[in-house]
Amino acid sequence: MKRLLYFVTLLALLSGCGSRESGELTGVLNRPQWFDIDPYGTVHIPMGSFVMGGNDQDVPYAHVSKAKTVSVQAFYMDATEITNNEYRQFVYWVRDSIALMLLSEIDEEEYLILEDQYGIELDEPRLNWRAEIPWDTDDEDVRDALESMFYSPAERYYGRKQLDTRKLIYEWSWIDYRMAASKGRPRHQYGEPEGLDRSSFIKTDEVGIYPDTLCWVADFTYSYNEPMTNMYFWHPAYDDYPVVGVTWKQAIAFSRWRTNLFNTYLSGVGVPLMQDFRLPTESEWEYASRGGLDVSAYPWGGPYIRNDRGCFLANFKPLRGNYVDDGGFHTVPATSYSPNDYGLYCMSGNVAEWTNNAYDESAYSFAHDLNMDYQYDADENDLPVKKRKVIRGGSWKDVGYYLQTGVRSYEYQDTAKSFIGFRNVMTYLGRAKGDAL
């Protein structure tokens, strides 16, 4: 009994002291406790391998994706395409952040946080999101401060005071890990000096984030789509429909904002940060779309686009332009039709979806089979061919061929279309669910 008491006491002492005190290799003690968090609105996609690429229905002249076995790490994916109302949260956040900055010029203490919780002055003041923005006020100073956010009187329609959406610009930063890996690491074994300073790999970018609502008119010649331009993004009737008119770069900006929104909350409650939200790689998208059914033509298995009752299983352009035969017309709510076996809705049809990858016809030949990923960050002055980004899944205006899980197409990164949306993914922290239990 005395010996047992001795060991219990010794264990308690070792637990209360760091490794410097005990002389033993114990790892860093008192690490934060981690709980597996499923981000709201996402589903868990387990790791696995699959045969990536087209099938026997891929017509010869469009055969740009040979079959290839690829392994994919576990990740989370949005169950639906990002909806108008979800993207509107991003728009409102940018709108309010601009308003808070303008108002801080007349009342710094009200609209900025200048000190931390211990009363120490911050190096960089933060926006006070608890402050109420007085959009409707009689205060002349406040009205003047916010005036620049609205259209000038000459641009107003029927005198309506409306937000100037051109002012909604989002700026974000990220670390270019690929550049850091090639130019930032010390290579002493080759007698080379240390790499570049870390600041060289911290990149910044900015983009106007309001969707191009005119895409409904611009995409179709001799077609009346003005009602969609007028109402689709902002009217409550379309809140649960997928957002469209968003460029690839705007989708990237949304992903960065969503990451900061989530991790800022986690940091505030003392929880370790999560991985970044991002656009899926091409391999992740196809793997998730198949729903665990390898070599299947469609997310529901296949090989047909109708079920046993003759009903279409996705929103696309059936037959010879009978857009209503599948139950849709333009887009439909993001939870329409049945999900695949992973719980993902509309992986075929409704809107095509941006992926993170650059488009190259021969990418399958040279890209790695481990988390296959081919990226190219095109500048504004690059040739159009370098701005091609892979889109997947087909849309409400596409024929059935594009609904196949293995079919790939592309659109240019600086274009916004009425038939392209997106959804986010997040790499899973760990190997597989249950490993830490």
**Distance between CA atoms of 332 and 346, rounded to whole angstroms?**
10
Q: State how far the Cα of 259 lies from the Cα of 116, in Å rounded to an integer.
A: 23
Question: If residue 176 lies in a helix (H) or strand (E), which one and from where to where?
Answer: none
SS3 11: helix
**In the prediction, which pLDDT does 11 show?**
46
pLDDT recorded at residue 25: 86
Those residues with Cβ within 8 angstroms of residue 230's Cβ, 6 or more apart along the chain or in another chain: 213
Question: Which residues touch 158 (CB under 8 Å, ≥6 apart)?
Answer: none
Residue 339, token pair as written in the block? 């999900």
What integer pLDDT is reported at residue 432 of this predicted model? 87
Highest mean pLDDT among 9-13, 103-107, 137-141, 332-336: 332-336
Q: Give residue 21's pLDDT.
A: 67
pLDDT bucket at 284, cuts 50 / 70 / 90:
very high
* Stretch 311-340: mean pLDDT: 91
Other beta carbons within 10 Å of 325? 13
pLDDT at 421 over 60: yes
List domains and CATH numbers for the chain: 39-83+212-251+280-431 (3.90.1580.10)
Helices (H), 187-320: 215-218, 226-231, 248-268, 282-290
Tens digit of each residue's pLDDT (9 = 90 or more) over 246-282: 999 999 999 999 999 999 998 888 888 899 999 999 9
C-beta of residue 128 within 8 angstroms of C-beta of residue 110: yes
Of 225, 248, 245, 222, nearest in space to 234 by CA: 245
**DSSP letters for 83-136:** BHHHHHHHHHHHHHHHHHHHHHTT-HHHHEEEE-TTSPEEEEEEE-TTS---SS
pTM of the model: 0.90
- Measured from the Cβ of residue 247, the count of other Cβ atoms closer than 10 Å reads 24
Contact assessment for residue 341 and residue 45, using Cβ atoms and an 8 Å cutoff:
no
How confident is the model at residue 252, as a pLDDT? Answer: 96
Phi, psi for 160 (deg, rounded to 5): -70, 130
Q: Is 316 left (phi over 0), alpha (psi -120 to 50) or beta?
A: beta
Query: Which tens digits make up the pLDDT trace of 197-221?
Result: 778 888 899 999 999 999 999 999 9
Q: What is the mean pLDDT of the chain?
A: 87
3-state secondary structure of 232: coil
pLDDT, mean of residues 295-324: 87
Confidence of residue 83 (pLDDT cuts 50, 70, 90): very high
pLDDT reading at 188 higher than 60: no
What is the DSSP-derived secondary structure letter of residue 414?
T
Confidence of residue 14 (pLDDT cuts 50, 70, 90): very low
Query: DSSP class of residue 190?
Result: G
Average pLDDT, integer, range 390-397: 95
Q: Determine the Cα–Cα distance for residues 104 and 127; give it in Å rounded to an integer.
A: 9
For 373-392, write each residue's pLDDT tens digit. 999 888 888 999 999 999 99
Q: How confident is the model at residue 118 (pLDDT cuts 50, 70, 90)?
A: confident
Longest dimension (CA), the chain: 93
Task: Give the per-residue pLDDT at 353.
Answer: 97
394: left (phi over 0), alpha (psi -120 to 50) or beta: left
For residue range 46-80, what is the model confidence (pLDDT) as tens digits?
Answer: 999 988 887 655 554 455 567 888 999 999 999 99
Residue 13's pLDDT band, with cuts at 50, 70 and 90, is very low
Is pLDDT at 36 greater than 70 in this prediction? yes
- Phi/psi for 339 (5° steps) reads -75, 165
Instruction: Examine the pLDDT at 86 and tell me if it is beyond 70.
Output: yes
Region 97-126: mean pLDDT is 85
More confident residue, 11 or 134: 134
Kindly indicate the confidence band of residue 241, based on its pLDDT and cuts at 50, 70 and 90. very high
Per-residue model confidence (pLDDT) at position 187: 61
pLDDT score for 191:
55
Instruction: Report the 10 Å Cβ neighbour count for 145.
Output: 20
- Number of residues written out for the chain: 437
Q: Report how far residue 329's alpha carbon sits from residue 339's, in angstroms, rounded to the nearest whole number.
A: 20
